Chains A and B, each alone.
Chain A
Amino acid sequence: MMSDLLVAFFFIGFTFAAYFLMNLLYLRFHFSFLMPALTATFIIVLFLLMTGTSYETYMTGGQWVDSFMGPAVVALAIPLYKQRKLLFDNLVPVLSGILVGVVIGMASGITLAKLFGFSRTLILSLLPKSITTPVAMEVTEQLGGIPSLAAVFVMIAGFSGIIVGPAFLKLLRIETPIGIGMGLGASAHGIGTAKALEYGAQEASVSSVAMSLSAVIGSFLAPVFVWFFFL
């Protein structure tokens, strides 16, 4: 009993330490692939594999960190509220962009994955890839997919969005702050929003609005898509 508690505390501490160390590294070099969500996860997975520790054991501590995820999503309402003027002043272009993004993102994801013959579980995990991680995980879980895979797919979407994104946006002549911010936020969520900040404050605001509202609209539409595609 006592040792269970120690194990739990150890993994809470380990998760925090991995995050803070990797965050320092990221702040020092500012290279996208050093994002702590990626590197800290990698370190923890490596540690568990090397010591032969099960995920279940890790989660005796990990679940405590995990329980902050829900309230943190609720807290996303505060930055959105601060951007309300931008949202209400550009209601039509913003909402249309998000709606089109969610529909195209989910429809193309399902269609392509079906074309390659991937299983239902994998498709359900891939469906919310353009939604911010904590919400994507909840959406996937509800539909019967695998939340941790959803998290990894969300990360892949984010990275492909910011690595190819800038050249791609230029190619498509997407050059207004609202176009750039929407493109990055609706496809690459938080990672895209961090990139949008490099363009300017307005791009970043649009991107963060796009990210929050894509999560809302995406969680409404995901079950509809599953039904529509007879998954």
Chain B
Amino acid sequence: MKFLMLLFQFIFIYGFFFLGQLLRELFSIPLPASIIGFMLMFAALLLKLVPLRFVDSTATLLLSFLPLFFIPATVGVIEYLDVFTGKGFFLIVVIIFSTLLTMAASGSTSQYLGRRIEARKEQK
């Protein structure tokens, strides 16, 4: 019974992904189908078109296995192992440097604006 419910919910979630694919094809939207599906699902939840309990348990289950699902695609790196030899080392340097810049920029922006809004609230 529990299994049937999970299966049904999964088909329902899959439907949103399928709808994302369909819309992407129909209107040639330059976004990943999964992101279109994600936005539709978020909107449906906010608008109460889909009750949370209807998707909650399957979504939690799916997300706990998320790393498993992208292993096959990652294994594809086997065809590009030469990228990481020689000059490829600098790719890693670029990624580390750019990641830290991202962290500094996003973290300090949110902290600064968060504090400013807090301060303004206290003044009132």
Contacts and interface: CB of A to CB of B under 8 A. Distances in A.
Contact of A133 (B74, B101, B110): B74
Interface in A116-162: 116, 118, 122, 126, 129-130, 133-135, 137-139, 142, 146-149, 151-153, 155-157, 160-161
Interface in A78-100: 78-82, 84, 90, 92-94, 96-98, 100
B77 A74 contact: no
Interface string A36-67: 11001100110011000001001100110110
B107 A180 contact: yes
Contact of A179 (B59, B101, B108, B117): B108
A160 B46 contact: no
Interface in A173-209: 174-176, 178-184, 186-188, 190, 206
Given A36-B67, A65-B68, A168 B42 contact: no
A198 B101 CA distance: 22
A200 to B, nearest CB: 15
A151 B70 contact: yes
Q: How large is the interface on A (under 10, 10 to 19, 20 to 34, 35 or more residues)?
A: 35 or more
B110 A97 contact: yes
B109 A100 contact: yes
B99 A151 contact: no
Given A77-B38, A138-B32, A105 B74 contact: no
Contacts, number: 318
Nearest to A185: B106
* Size class of the B contact interface (CB-based, 8 Å): 35 or more
Contacts of B83: 122, 149
B65 A116 contact: no
B59 A78 contact: yes
7 contacts: A58-B72, A73-B34, A105-B101, A112-B98, A135-B34, A153-B95, A188-B99
8 smallest beta-carbon distances between A and B, as pairs: A183-B107, A179-B111, A101-B106, A148-B76, A62-B72, A97-B110, A138-B32, A73-B34
Given A138-B32, A151-B76, A216-B35, 15 more contacts: A40-B71, A59-B72, A62-B71, A71-B17, A73-B38, A74-B20, A104-B105, A116-B94, A129-B98, A146-B80, A148-B74, A149-B83, A160-B99, A161-B99, A179-B114
